[in-house]
Amino acid sequence: MRWSGRRASLLALLVAVVAVVSVHVWFDVVPTIESDDAIVVTADEAVDVAGQRFALRSMRADEFEAPDGAHSVSIRLHSTGGAEATGCRSLLLTAQDDGRVWTPATSELDIPSDAGESRCQAESPPYDLLAVFVVPDDASGPFWFDVTDEDGRVVRFPVEL
């Protein structure tokens, strides 16, 4: 293959990667960040979202070992589950001061399989949802923890460690 053929292939690959990342950000991250309709709940308040009732169980820093220069933030919610329970579109952690956003880091960390579910469960018995995020050391909170259901409804929990 000649250099011009390789260059065209690399350019096509780069365009595809940029397109995939852009679509993810446009449909999953931006709507949650810009949501003025987010329902903000207090730490001791239970809320209905995704056809189930969630209550905050715990918020912890450094519960799980993170790479150098970062720390983990773990958030546990208890769900009632139920026949009407659906999945969630996204779980996000957002720094309140500068708006940086993180998605759960379930595959990057050594989290025991019995620690909790990493996603909202559809049509399930009661369960604990565990969302673990890896954030840089300079991000110490406060944060927002957003749960977005399949209809785009956002429930926002304040997180202070």
For 122-148, what is the mean pLDDT? 94
Q: How many H-runs (helices) and E-runs (strands) does the chain carry?
A: 2, 9
Q: Residue 161 burial by CB count (10 A; 0-12/13-18/19+): exposed, middle or buried?
A: middle
Domain that holds residue 145: 39-159
For 22-37, what is the mean pLDDT? 55
Does residue 94 contact residue 144 with C-beta atoms inside 8 Å? yes
Q: Does residue 99 have a pLDDT over 70?
A: yes
Same domain membership, residue 71 and residue 120: yes
**Size of the chain in residues:** 161
Same domain membership, residue 89 and residue 75: yes
Same domain membership, residue 65 and residue 30: no
Residue 88 sits in a domain whose CATH number is: 2.60.40
Same domain membership, residue 2 and residue 75: no
**pLDDT tier for residue 16 given thresholds of 50, 70 and 90:** low
Name which residue leads in pLDDT, 19 or 89. Answer: 89
Name which residue leads in pLDDT, 21 or 93. Answer: 93
Same domain membership, residue 121 and residue 77: yes
Beta bridge partners of 87: none
Number of domains in the chain: 2
Q: pLDDT for 31-72, tens place per residue?
A: 445 556 888 998 789 999 999 999 999 999 999 999 999 999
Percent of all residues in the chain with a pLDDT value above 70, rounded to a whole number: 79
In angstroms, the first-to-last Cα distance of the chain is: 56
Q: Supply the mean pLDDT for the chain.
A: 85
pLDDT recorded at residue 6: 72
**pLDDT tier for residue 17 given thresholds of 50, 70 and 90:** low
Name which residue leads in pLDDT, 109 or 27. Answer: 109
Cis peptide preceding 142, ω within 30 of 0: yes
pLDDT recorded at residue 32: 47
User: Dihedral, CA atoms, 5, 20, 97, 102, nearest 10 degrees?
Assistant: -110
Same domain membership, residue 43 and residue 29: no
